[in-house]
Structure 1
Amino acid sequence: MIKTIEISQLRIGMYLHALPGNWTSHPFLRNRFLITAEEDIRKITDAGFSRLEIDTEKGADVHVASQDGGGENKAAPTAHGSSVTLAPVTFTETPASLSDELARAKVLISQAERLVRDLAQDVRLGKLVELDRVEPVVEGIVGSILRNPNALLVLLQLKKKDDYTFLHSVGVCALLTAFCRSVGLSAETTYHAGLGGLLHDIGKASIPDEILNKPGRLTEAEFDVIKTHPEAGHAMLARVPGLSPIALDITLRHHERCDGNGYPGALPGPEISELAKMAAIVDVYDAITSERCYHRGMTPANALAKMLEWSKVQLSDEHVRAFIRCIGIFPSGSLVRLASGRLGVVVEQNSENLLKPTVNVFFNVKSNTYIKPERIDLASSGAAEHERIMCAENPQRWKVEPHRFVEVGQMT
């Protein structure tokens, strides 16, 4: 039941159904969330609101809060009968170290992959996507990218072939969020683009597994079935209350191409939205750099070179170049060979010189042995004298596992 209350009646345990105004008029990423702390109430009060709407089916009612003394932290029920505390996330850009953010990013990836897996199962059973379940995960991804974009992008770049089906959606969400941020789009637009990124392939839940997971080349008839997933996903999500037009557009148009040879609408470039063009680039990049049972992933550097070729016809040249500026010539998570003959994993970008990121080195190709891990900032004066990136490398060539060395000192 939706009820309007005075700000003075707001208590911990209540579930806000709506905050007045748009998403940027208050310090929270969502208009709907569970009140879990006095700090939440203070921020809402400081924002100047006098009345609010609460949902008494998802949280405490006015009289319940009074009986409990206003201090009980209640959890919002979910459609699965369990409960989960959905704490509001403040939209900030407070930087975090790579080490600190990696720990959070690992948890986020696990949660997001599980969510995408559950959503696909729910859709197959005919259930609607529940926005309340998706929003906190996207908030977490947006927050992580704002604190330190390298952490999520490093870990997602290092995913294995068995992880692709569901982690692809997580990767598109994170990459699109980082892309939006790098080109200066608003916080609200970035957030809704992230929602679209996470949900963009939800229509694949309607594709038979024998086609979706076929370990070989698809027939023309099978590819025609695959091409139905944007419209299927759009139809599913159009029924979800509160989902933004941005997310719907990304879902429907992420396979459109600037030469008019995309699908489902075969739209020419001028008729494709900016965000759909950006989503298409991110979707292609994550797909061609991922290991799958029937496809060996390209190195990130080779993938970007290939996408520059495609930008002459299929992809937006302007946006491909902006994407490269966003993630770097050697993106975080890339394996590179240095002039010294050492291999390292890229862990941080240098915005002033994309050819000189920070690298964790861990392997010597001359002796074909692991070495003591070392963090090298290639933009520093000391490194510039003798070290530079010679080329990108494929981990399979050297039988190394770069993910073990994202943090210096982790040699197991």
Structure 2
Amino acid sequence: MLRRVHITEIELGMFIHKMEGSWFKHPFWNRRFLLTNPAHLELLLASDIETVIIDTDQGLDTRRLSERAEVGVQTQTQTQMQTGAAPVAAVVPPPRTVSRYQPKPPVRTLLRPSERQPGAVPPATIVQVREFGRARKVIGEANKVISQVFVQARLGKALNVADISNVVDEVYASVQRNLYAFNGLLRCQQDSEYVYRHSLSVSALMVALARQLKLGPVQMREAGMAGLLMDVGVGQMEVDLGAIGGDYRHLAPSLVQSHVLLGHAFLKAAGDIPPSVVDTCLRHHERLDGTGYPYGLGAEAIELLPRMGMVCDLYDNLVTGGDNRVGLDPAVALRHLAEMGDAIDQEVLRALVTTLGVYPIGAFVELASGRLAMVVAEDDGDTALPVVRAFWSLAQGRSIKAESIALSQCFGADSIVGAADLEGLDLPPLGQLRQRLIEATRRELAV
């Protein structure tokens, strides 16, 4: 049963079904959860939320709590009268509830470390690859919402902040479950329009980067929303994106640059968007050395969130290509950004490298064994030693049976020499190759 209660009535053991009011008035990502942590209760009481909806079928009811306390005191009093015992404060334990939102314990189907072969994929990687399946569902649903937002922008309709908050929540949840899987899967997908895929990818990058920079929960949420909305002005440009493959970068530079001003006006009109998100939309194409647009601002006028936005936006643009260019390998793209020097915040870039790994998922690498491989998962202990999938023999000059190799488990038997040179090789388009390799890995390890 759902019941509205005032914030002052909230107790531990209640199941929060909904927090009424603006999404930005509270610091919680999950809007439905069993309240068991005293620190979370303090945060809720200190927020600007006035009322919440509780689900009494999954947690305590205030009236049920009072009734239980009263019954407990009466029973204790009767016992004391019979035994002459001194009175003791009644303790009413919360009822045992099983929430469908609580994660199920993992089923152990993995080999013990002593049973694994050198180069075998470790358990953490299998869990990471399993997240690809969940991430795929999130990406599919999120793309629908993002496309609707762009349509709303084109039609001049107001932005529905609740829809956006749901997407950011799902992106955050996926990044929390596994830092690398969500964005790695996006790197290897080619089945949605560029502008939608780009928005979702930048949102995930911003959340992961905010986590790496140890920003607070509200700032992390705003970072994710900024990434999702920073290019919303593209939907207001008087162009047919379908005629250019959905990639607005193919338009004239003056028209491309107009999207930040259009998006800024659109988000301000929404009225419920945090100023930092609106500011990031306007300034993520500025550069710290004053060479950006629309105003040519310098470093002193650009806050942290727009600095993060410009780095994440640049990185995703480089790896997806555009303007008849093939996207750069992720590892090469990171080096390219490092060469931009003072134009971008290099400290933020270093945090992004730490976030993605030296060789991000989707990067093609050359191995010491004379094989070419693609990075399919990261190793939490050492991002310089990822899990790769070998697919090409340089000595034989042909494709070979694909094999997943955990370089951190090879004990030096194989290693990355550097970024792979795929020029002149008889390979399918790189987007298709990435998707094929990541899907094969997912099928192989999703045991």
In the superposition, the TM-score normalised over structure 1's length comes to 0.76
Amino-acid identity (%): 25
Q: Distance in 2 between matches of 1:99 and 1:230?
A: 36
Q: Give CA deviations for 1:133-165 in whole Å, capped at 9, x if unaligned.
A: 111111111111111121112111113386312
Q: Give CA deviations for 1:88-129 in whole Å, capped at 9, x if unaligned.
A: 9899xx999113311110011111211111111111111111
Aligned to 2:348, which of 319, 332, 338?
319
Instruction: Find the counterpart in structure 1 of residue 26 from structure 2.
Output: 23
Q: Distance in 2 between matches of 1:20 and 1:204?
A: 25
**2:319 corresponds to 1:289:** yes
Amino acid in the other structure paired with 2:41: A
TM superposition shift of 1:342: 2.3
- Are residues 89 and 307 of structure 1, via their aligned partners in 2, closer, same or farther at CA, if it must alter by over 3 Å? farther
Aligned to 1:390, which of 405, 418, 431?
418
Amino acid in the other structure paired with 1:53: T
Amino acid in the other structure paired with 1:258: L
Aligned to 1:182, which of 212, 228, 238?
212
Q: Would you say the 8 A contact 1:336–1:389 is kept in 2?
A: yes
Amino acid in the other structure paired with 1:307: L
Instruction: Find the counterpart in structure 2 of residue 69 from structure 1.
Output: none
**2:434 corresponds to 1:402:** yes
Aligned to 2:154, which of 119, 124, 149?
124
- Are residues 370 and 89 of structure 1, via their aligned partners in 2, closer, same or farther at CA, if it must alter by over 3 Å? farther
Which protein is bigger by CA-based radius of gyration?
2
- Are residues 101 and 375 of structure 1, via their aligned partners in 2, closer, same or farther at CA, if it must alter by over 3 Å? same
Amino acid in the other structure paired with 2:208: A
TM superposition shift of 1:386: 3.4
More helix by share: 2
**2:241 corresponds to 1:206:** no
Q: Would you say the 8 A contact 2:142–2:200 is kept in 1?
A: yes
Instruction: Find the counterpart in structure 2 of residue 362 from structure 1.
Output: 391
Question: Does the residue aligned with 1:259 lie in a helix, a strand or coil?
Answer: coil
Q: Distance in 2 between matches of 1:275 and 1:109?
A: 23
Instruction: Find the counterpart in structure 2 of residue 168 from structure 1.
Output: 198
Q: Distance in 1 between matches of 2:278 and 2:102?
A: 25
- Are residues 5 and 350 of structure 1, via their aligned partners in 2, closer, same or farther at CA, if it must alter by over 3 Å? closer
Q: Would you say the 8 A contact 2:143–2:196 is kept in 1?
A: yes
- Are residues 187 and 389 of structure 1, via their aligned partners in 2, closer, same or farther at CA, if it must alter by over 3 Å? farther
Question: Does the residue aligned with 2:358 lie in a helix, a strand or coil?
Answer: coil
Aligned to 1:47, which of 41, 48, 55?
41
- Are residues 54 and 181 of structure 1, via their aligned partners in 2, closer, same or farther at CA, if it must alter by over 3 Å? closer
Question: Does the residue aligned with 1:47 lie in a helix, a strand or coil?
Answer: helix
TM superposition shift of 1:375: 2.6
The 5-angstrom pairing of residues 35-184 of structure 1 reads 40=34, 47=41, 52-53=50-51, 97-160=127-190, 163-184=193-214
Uncovered stretches (5+) of structure 2, i.e. residues with no partner:
56-60, 62-98, 107-123
In the superposition, the TM-score normalised over structure 2's length comes to 0.71
Instruction: Find the counterpart in structure 2 of residue 269 from structure 1.
Output: 299
Amino acid in the other structure paired with 1:387: S
Q: Distance in 1 between matches of 2:243 and 2:313?
A: 18
The 5-angstrom pairing of residues 348-359 of structure 1 reads 348-350=377-379, 353-359=382-388
Instruction: Find the counterpart in structure 1 of residue 289 from structure 2.
Output: 259
RMSD: 4.0
TM superposition shift of 1:219: 12
TM superposition shift of 1:19: 8.6
Q: Give CA deviations for 1:343-372 in whole Å, capped at 9, x if unaligned.
A: 322133346644322212234344455444
Q: Give CA deviations for 1:183-220 in whole Å, capped at 9, x if unaligned.
A: 211222111110010011001112232589658x9999
Instruction: Find the counterpart in structure 2 of residue 70 from structure 1.
Output: none
- Are residues 191 and 162 of structure 1, via their aligned partners in 2, closer, same or farther at CA, if it must alter by over 3 Å? closer
Question: Does the residue aligned with 1:145 lie in a helix, a strand or coil?
Answer: helix
Q: Distance in 1 between matches of 2:271 and 2:38?
A: 24
Uncovered stretches (5+) of structure 1, i.e. residues with no partner:
61-65, 67-86
- Are residues 135 and 268 of structure 1, via their aligned partners in 2, closer, same or farther at CA, if it must alter by over 3 Å? same
Q: Would you say the 8 A contact 1:160–1:290 is kept in 2?
A: no
Out of 401-410 and 258-267, give the one that drifted further. 401-410
Question: Does the residue aligned with 2:339 lie in a helix, a strand or coil?
Answer: helix
